[in-house]
Structure 1
């Protein structure tokens, strides 16, 4: 096992979550989530709401994204760490399966990591750009 794979440093845990998501490795993604995780997708986002427990995050967020989008990728480029808080500035890119429209939108994610697991997530994104990509003729 590599040092990175075993690290409980908050930024490393968050990075492993992004890598697992990009690879479609839901088991590895689940391994980064606390049993009582609270995962909030922003109001106005197609998957808006707060989901609890790893199964809730996987079924209501990750699996739904895979159903509606091709090549959904979070390009995590800047990490700001303050203790257990990790803020990630990133970009979503994907192609909507229903419309064929692409997205390329900036996002910010706030994670709280305790004991080597993500206990809280909150998304901030321009939801209008995501919805526009889901609208035919956009």
Structure 2
């Protein structure tokens, strides 16, 4: 019985030792990749990209654009390096072994254009590493910008709207934005509007076509929890068909995700709007 217990303990010790060795080896591989990536950025030398990435790598950039394939990744890096010199620091937040062929790594980055010290990008990354013939490489990479002031995103959106720059307003929206007009509003018939194109066709174009003027006044922004901004304001508008004007109290609730507007909810005095639109 003692012999059986001794053998059992030996197995446990061997298992723990093997697991510890694998974990340390993977951590070392992650650190090696990060150091190689830092060297690539800081020297502006794209020669290490074959070692860093798999041939079928995909990268989601901080601006939301997507790259697929090593050749396209090389072109992006070369264009970046042609535009100046850069410095980057990385900090690993979490490493997790998915199986013997894949590993999850998350962390944070600070990316600086050396000749423009104010041009600093901060954010987080999530990488899926793949074991290729005993070498760990980046298979998928997702990069997310740090949102330091979500009020500024909403403020910029209102300023673009005031200038009639609707393309910039749409650009500030997530591709799958969920937009809801206040219940009882004539434009709520398409709720929820999904995506910028739906908002453009279902709301903006109709408002523009049906109003002689439509202005947003007395805008005040209030940063909330959960990446939300509450805007209190007034609509000052005139309806073309009826010639009636209205000045209505309004609230907009904006939700920001990854630097883009992911959701919008309008609250408004719908009676004033409907009275103005009714003959």
Same fold (TM over 0.5): yes
**Residues 76-132 of structure 1, C-alpha deviations (whole Å, 9 max, x = no match):** 522110241100110001110001111100001100011111000000001010000
* C-alpha separation in 1, matches of 2:215 and 2:249: 12
Question: Match of 2:196?
Answer: 54
Shift in Å, 1:41: 0.3
Instruction: List alignment gaps of at least 5 residues for structure 1.
Output: none
Tell me which residue corresponds to 1:90: 233
Highest Rg: 1 or 2? Answer: 2
In structure 2, the residue matched to 1:135 is 278
Q: Kindly report which structure 2 residues correspond to 1:28-39, keeping only aligned pairs within 5 A, or say none.
A: 28-39=168-179
Give the distance between the partners of 1:39 and 1:134, measured in 2 at CA: 22
Distance 1:38 1:44 in 2: 18
TM-score by length of 1: 0.88
For residues 17-74 of structure 1, what are the alpha-carbon distances to aligned partners after superposition, in whole Å with 9 as ceiling and x for unaligned?
2122222212111111001100100111010021010101111111110011122112
Partner secondary structure for residue 192 of structure 2: strand
Aligned to 2:46: none
Q: 4+ residue runs of structure 1 moved beyond 4 angstroms?
A: none
Distance across 2 between alignment mates of 1:112 and 1:91 = 20
C-alpha distance in 2 between matches for 1:81 and 1:115: 16
- Flag the structure with higher helix content: 2
Partner of 1:126: 269
Structure 1 stretch displaced more, 70-79 or 98-107: 70-79
CA RMSD of aligned residues (A): 1.7
Aligned to 2:151: 11
